[in-house]
Amino acid sequence: MSNVHSPSLVVENVTFHYDEDDKILENENLAVHGPGLVTILGPNGSGKTTFFKVILGLLKPQTGKIFLNGEEVTGNPVKAGRHAALVPQLTAVRRDLPVTGAEIIEFVLRSRRQCSGKSCKEKLRELVEIVGAENYYKKKLSEMSGGQLQRILIARALATGSSILLLDEPFSGIDPGGREYIVDFLRKTSREKLILLTTHDPVLTINSSKMIVIFNKGVKAYGSPDQIFTLDLLRKAYGSSVLMIERCLHVVG
């Protein structure tokens, strides 16, 4: 069972290659203990999604170990799934399936034994209220906007009861109002859960994060926002796309 009081992630000497010419992780180490928001920052195509798949046991590293809440879960999605839940990129979600938001959330609630009988309807309503989806959760996925679907996917992840949430590019394709809502939700939820979030835009979550991870085909640096948000470190991820303009750092292009 997940230790919800002290969620943790430990990545220990992990190497993962798709092939010799496509090295994503090379002897990586990262440790995060306790609840809070961790922003994994890097450009598109830098391997952030692959990193999540390794953490979730969906890909087995060539070397090293992954620990979630103290349990080794390396290459084992069943074990990892006891502790962590993924909110995938919107582009990875099939929206042509004839299912409603309510159905996919309730399916997870029942399959994870978070409720039974009529109590599942109450738990479902509770989750959609938490994410602000009361007005459309009974719609089919194909009828939802990107922002609406994102909230349903977050509710589905919450339905697992996991103490660790992994959100892969949750702001892509979301309007500014939807982004603000998600940031506010993450700020509140990270008081109790460990949330890892990948993004190529550092602005949205930097003030809410307890840790920033600079990532580009591996962990380049990590630490508090004050430690990490420097020109030299950001250029490890973005190269010359980072500019200093009037004493403020900007990522362009």
Residue 73 and residue 18 share a domain? yes
Work out the pLDDT band at 96, boundaries 50, 70, 90: confident
**Which domain covers residue 27, as residue numbers?**
8-83+163-251
In single-letter form, the type of residue at position 252 comes to V
Residue 106 and residue 46 share a domain? no
Q: Are 100 and 139 in contact (CB under 8 A)?
A: yes
In single-letter form, the type of residue at position 20 comes to E
Handedness of CA 94, 152, 11, 46 (dihedral sign): positive
Q: Is residue 91 part of a domain?
A: no
Please report the pLDDT score of residue 4 as a whole number.
Answer: 47
Give per-residue pLDDT as tens, 35-53. Answer: 999 999 888 888 999 999 9
| CA-based R_g, the chain, Å | 18
In whole angstroms, what separates CA 129 from the centre of its chain?
A: 21
> For residue 100, what is the DSSP state?
B
Residue after which a domain boundary falls, among 108, 141, 161: 161
Residue after which a domain boundary falls, among 117, 137, 161: 161
Residue 247 and residue 128 share a domain? no
Whether 80 shows a pLDDT value over 60: the answer reads yes
Residue 239 and residue 181 share a domain? yes
Please report the pLDDT score of residue 168 as a whole number.
Answer: 93
Q: Is residue 223 part of a domain?
A: yes
Question: Which residues are CB-neighbours of 33 under 8 A, at least 6 positions away?
Answer: 6, 8
Residue 191 and residue 157 share a domain? no
Residue 168 and residue 154 share a domain? no
Give per-residue pLDDT as tens, 113-124. Answer: 888 888 999 999
Q: Is residue 93 part of a domain?
A: no
Q: How many domains does the chain have?
A: 2
Please report the pLDDT score of residue 244 as a whole number.
Answer: 47
Residue 29 and residue 16 share a domain? yes
Q: Is residue 25 part of a domain?
A: yes
